[in-house]
Amino acid sequence: MRDMIIWSSNTATNYVIDLITATTGDTLLSPEEFMAWVNRRQAVNRYFKSLKWPELADINLCQKLMDDERYGREKAFVTFGGNNHNRLCSNAAARLMFELFNGTVAAPERCRIMAARFHRSLTTEFAAQPAAQINGYFGASLPADATLYSKAGWTGWTGDPLASYRRHDLGYIELPSAHEGHYQALTLAVFTQGQAMSEDTAVLPAIARLAYDAVMAV
Protein backbone atom coordinates (compact mmCIF):
# COMPACT_ATOMS: atom_id res chain seq x y z
CA MET A 1 0.00 0.00 0.00
CA ARG A 2 2.90 2.35 0.72
CA ASP A 3 4.35 1.87 -2.77
CA MET A 4 0.90 2.14 -4.34
CA ILE A 5 0.33 5.54 -2.72
CA ILE A 6 3.77 7.13 -2.42
CA TRP A 7 5.33 6.02 -5.71
CA SER A 8 2.17 5.27 -7.76
CA SER A 9 3.44 1.76 -8.41
CA ASN A 10 1.05 0.03 -10.80
CA THR A 11 2.55 -3.32 -9.81
CA ALA A 12 1.82 -2.66 -6.14
CA THR A 13 -1.70 -1.42 -6.92
CA ASN A 14 -2.49 -4.49 -8.98
CA TYR A 15 -1.19 -6.77 -6.23
CA VAL A 16 -3.51 -5.07 -3.72
CA ILE A 17 -6.44 -5.57 -6.10
CA ASP A 18 -5.56 -9.26 -6.42
CA LEU A 19 -5.41 -9.67 -2.65
CA ILE A 20 -8.69 -7.98 -1.79
CA THR A 21 -10.70 -9.57 -4.62
CA ALA A 22 -9.06 -13.02 -4.78
CA THR A 23 -8.44 -12.63 -8.51
CA THR A 24 -5.45 -12.72 -10.81
CA GLY A 25 -5.08 -11.39 -14.33
CA ASP A 26 -3.91 -14.09 -16.71
CA THR A 27 -5.10 -16.23 -19.60
CA LEU A 28 -8.70 -16.33 -20.82
CA LEU A 29 -11.30 -18.27 -18.84
CA SER A 30 -14.37 -20.24 -19.83
CA PRO A 31 -17.59 -18.16 -19.79
CA GLU A 32 -18.67 -19.64 -16.45
CA GLU A 33 -15.29 -19.12 -14.82
CA PHE A 34 -15.05 -15.62 -16.23
CA MET A 35 -18.38 -14.52 -14.76
CA ALA A 36 -17.34 -15.83 -11.33
CA TRP A 37 -14.07 -13.92 -11.73
CA VAL A 38 -15.94 -10.74 -12.68
CA ASN A 39 -18.13 -11.04 -9.59
CA ARG A 40 -15.09 -11.30 -7.33
CA ARG A 41 -13.38 -8.32 -8.96
CA GLN A 42 -16.54 -6.22 -8.54
CA ALA A 43 -16.07 -6.44 -4.76
CA VAL A 44 -14.14 -3.16 -5.04
CA ASN A 45 -17.16 -1.34 -6.45
CA ARG A 46 -19.56 -3.00 -4.01
CA TYR A 47 -17.52 -1.71 -1.08
CA PHE A 48 -17.46 1.91 -2.23
CA LYS A 49 -21.10 1.89 -3.28
CA SER A 50 -22.03 0.56 0.17
CA LEU A 51 -21.02 3.98 1.52
CA LYS A 52 -24.08 5.38 -0.32
CA TRP A 53 -22.42 8.66 -1.20
CA PRO A 54 -23.99 10.33 -4.26
CA GLU A 55 -20.50 11.20 -5.52
CA LEU A 56 -19.72 7.48 -5.82
CA ALA A 57 -22.91 6.47 -7.63
CA ASP A 58 -21.36 6.05 -11.09
CA ILE A 59 -17.80 5.03 -10.24
CA ASN A 60 -15.94 2.00 -11.55
CA LEU A 61 -12.75 1.13 -9.66
CA CYS A 62 -12.25 -2.55 -10.44
CA GLN A 63 -9.72 -2.32 -13.27
CA LYS A 64 -6.01 -2.80 -12.78
CA LEU A 65 -3.56 -0.12 -13.88
CA MET A 66 -1.53 -0.81 -17.00
CA ASP A 67 1.54 0.78 -18.54
CA ASP A 68 0.53 -0.46 -22.00
CA GLU A 69 -2.11 -2.65 -23.65
CA ARG A 70 -4.07 -5.31 -21.73
CA TYR A 71 -4.14 -9.02 -22.52
CA GLY A 72 -6.09 -12.14 -21.54
CA ARG A 73 -8.83 -11.80 -18.97
CA GLU A 74 -7.87 -8.17 -18.21
CA LYS A 75 -8.51 -7.28 -21.86
CA ALA A 76 -11.81 -9.15 -21.82
CA PHE A 77 -12.83 -7.40 -18.61
CA VAL A 78 -12.02 -3.84 -19.67
CA THR A 79 -14.27 -4.30 -22.73
CA PHE A 80 -16.95 -6.23 -20.81
CA GLY A 81 -20.32 -4.69 -21.65
CA GLY A 82 -18.68 -2.22 -24.04
CA ASN A 83 -16.51 0.16 -22.04
CA ASN A 84 -15.66 -1.06 -18.56
CA HIS A 85 -12.69 1.22 -17.88
CA ASN A 86 -12.23 2.77 -14.46
CA ARG A 87 -14.38 5.84 -13.84
CA LEU A 88 -13.83 8.38 -11.08
CA CYS A 89 -14.62 12.08 -10.81
CA SER A 90 -12.88 14.79 -8.83
CA ASN A 91 -15.89 15.26 -6.51
CA ALA A 92 -15.77 11.60 -5.49
CA ALA A 93 -12.01 11.72 -4.92
CA ALA A 94 -12.27 14.94 -2.89
CA ARG A 95 -15.00 13.56 -0.65
CA LEU A 96 -13.05 10.36 -0.03
CA MET A 97 -9.98 12.39 0.96
CA PHE A 98 -12.05 14.70 3.20
CA GLU A 99 -13.80 11.83 4.96
CA LEU A 100 -10.49 10.01 5.45
CA PHE A 101 -8.81 12.98 7.11
CA ASN A 102 -11.86 13.68 9.25
CA GLY A 103 -11.93 10.08 10.47
CA THR A 104 -15.38 9.24 9.12
CA VAL A 105 -14.78 6.81 6.22
CA ALA A 106 -13.68 4.05 8.61
CA ALA A 107 -12.86 3.70 12.29
CA PRO A 108 -10.98 6.85 13.41
CA GLU A 109 -7.79 4.96 14.26
CA ARG A 110 -7.78 3.18 10.89
CA CYS A 111 -8.34 6.53 9.16
CA ARG A 112 -5.38 8.00 11.03
CA ILE A 113 -3.10 5.15 9.92
CA MET A 114 -4.28 5.38 6.31
CA ALA A 115 -4.01 9.17 6.18
CA ALA A 116 -0.39 9.11 7.30
CA ARG A 117 0.57 7.15 4.17
CA PHE A 118 -0.34 10.14 1.99
CA HIS A 119 2.16 12.55 3.55
CA ARG A 120 4.62 14.11 1.11
CA SER A 121 7.59 16.10 2.27
CA LEU A 122 8.05 19.44 0.55
CA THR A 123 11.82 19.29 0.90
CA THR A 124 14.02 19.64 -2.15
CA GLU A 125 15.50 16.20 -1.49
CA PHE A 126 12.13 14.43 -1.55
CA ALA A 127 10.86 16.40 -4.55
CA ALA A 128 13.91 15.38 -6.57
CA GLN A 129 12.95 11.71 -6.44
CA PRO A 130 11.46 10.66 -9.81
CA ALA A 131 8.11 9.45 -8.45
CA ALA A 132 7.74 11.91 -5.56
CA GLN A 133 4.60 13.53 -7.08
CA ILE A 134 5.77 17.01 -6.10
CA ASN A 135 7.26 18.57 -9.23
CA GLY A 136 4.46 19.12 -11.73
CA TYR A 137 1.82 18.61 -9.02
CA PHE A 138 0.28 20.56 -6.12
CA GLY A 139 3.34 20.42 -3.90
CA ALA A 140 5.54 22.30 -6.35
CA SER A 141 3.92 25.64 -5.51
CA LEU A 142 3.11 25.29 -1.82
CA PRO A 143 5.10 27.18 0.80
CA ALA A 144 7.46 25.21 3.02
CA ASP A 145 5.28 25.74 6.11
CA ALA A 146 2.30 23.96 4.54
CA THR A 147 1.80 20.23 5.10
CA LEU A 148 0.80 18.16 2.11
CA TYR A 149 -0.97 14.80 1.94
CA SER A 150 -1.66 13.82 -1.65
CA LYS A 151 -2.02 11.22 -4.37
CA ALA A 152 -1.31 12.14 -7.97
CA GLY A 153 -1.91 10.23 -11.17
CA TRP A 154 -0.32 10.49 -14.61
CA THR A 155 -0.47 8.63 -17.91
CA GLY A 156 1.06 9.33 -21.28
CA TRP A 157 0.30 7.09 -24.24
CA THR A 158 -0.55 3.60 -22.96
CA GLY A 159 -1.65 2.00 -26.22
CA ASP A 160 -5.30 2.40 -25.18
CA PRO A 161 -6.85 5.73 -26.25
CA LEU A 162 -9.42 5.43 -23.45
CA ALA A 163 -6.72 5.24 -20.77
CA SER A 164 -4.09 7.68 -22.00
CA TYR A 165 -2.97 11.25 -21.36
CA ARG A 166 -4.14 12.23 -17.88
CA ARG A 167 -2.61 14.34 -15.13
CA HIS A 168 -4.48 14.41 -11.83
CA ASP A 169 -3.80 15.41 -8.26
CA LEU A 170 -5.75 15.02 -5.03
CA GLY A 171 -4.56 16.77 -1.91
CA TYR A 172 -5.34 17.51 1.71
CA ILE A 173 -3.31 20.61 2.55
CA GLU A 174 -2.84 21.67 6.16
CA LEU A 175 -2.28 25.39 6.54
CA PRO A 176 0.41 26.97 8.74
CA SER A 177 -0.40 26.67 12.44
CA ALA A 178 -0.70 30.43 12.86
CA HIS A 179 -3.87 30.33 10.79
CA GLU A 180 -5.49 27.39 12.58
CA GLY A 181 -8.03 29.58 14.32
CA HIS A 182 -9.83 30.12 11.02
CA TYR A 183 -9.02 27.30 8.56
CA GLN A 184 -7.05 24.19 9.38
CA ALA A 185 -6.92 22.57 5.95
CA LEU A 186 -8.28 22.51 2.44
CA THR A 187 -9.15 19.56 0.23
CA LEU A 188 -8.41 19.96 -3.48
CA ALA A 189 -8.96 17.61 -6.42
CA VAL A 190 -8.10 18.42 -10.03
CA PHE A 191 -8.45 15.91 -12.89
CA THR A 192 -7.27 16.73 -16.41
CA GLN A 193 -7.28 14.90 -19.72
CA GLY A 194 -5.57 15.32 -23.07
CA GLN A 195 -2.00 15.16 -24.30
CA ALA A 196 -1.28 18.86 -23.73
CA MET A 197 -2.51 18.70 -20.13
CA SER A 198 -0.70 15.44 -19.49
CA GLU A 199 2.57 17.06 -20.49
CA ASP A 200 1.95 20.40 -18.73
CA THR A 201 3.88 20.57 -15.44
CA ALA A 202 2.70 24.09 -14.54
CA VAL A 203 -1.10 23.90 -14.42
CA LEU A 204 -1.58 21.80 -11.26
CA PRO A 205 0.93 23.81 -9.18
CA ALA A 206 -0.75 27.03 -10.35
CA ILE A 207 -4.22 25.83 -9.35
CA ALA A 208 -2.96 24.66 -5.96
CA ARG A 209 -1.36 28.02 -5.24
CA LEU A 210 -4.51 29.89 -6.27
CA ALA A 211 -6.61 27.74 -3.91
CA TYR A 212 -4.07 28.05 -1.09
CA ASP A 213 -3.81 31.83 -1.40
CA ALA A 214 -7.60 32.21 -1.58
CA VAL A 215 -8.11 30.28 1.64
CA MET A 216 -5.30 32.08 3.45
CA ALA A 217 -6.71 35.47 2.43
CA VAL A 218 -10.08 34.87 4.08
Question: Distance between CA atoms of 203 and 34, rounded to whole angstroms?
Answer: 42
State the greatest distance between any 2 C-alpha atoms of the chain, in Å, as a whole number.
Answer: 62
Measured in residues, the chain has a length of 218
Given a cut of 80, whether residue 183 has pLDDT beyond it is no
Per-residue pLDDT tens for 42-57? Answer: 999 999 999 999 999 9
Residue 169: exposure state from Cβ atoms within 10 A (0-12, 13-18, ≥19): buried
Give me the pLDDT at residue 178, please: 55
Find out whether 133 and 165 touch, Cβ atoms under 8 Å. no
Fold of the domain spanning 90-217 = Beta-lactamase (3.40.710)
Radius of gyration of the chain (CA): 18
Amino acid at 94: A
Per-residue pLDDT tens for 144-162? Answer: 999 999 999 999 999 899 9
Per-residue pLDDT tens for 102-141? Answer: 999 999 999 999 999 999 999 999 999 989 999 999 999 9
Q: In what order do the strands lie in the sheet with 119-120?
A: 119-120, 147-155, 166-174, 185-193
Domain coordinates of the chain in residue numbers?
2-78, 90-217
Is the Cα torsion angle 144, 146, 147, 152 positive or negative in sign?
negative
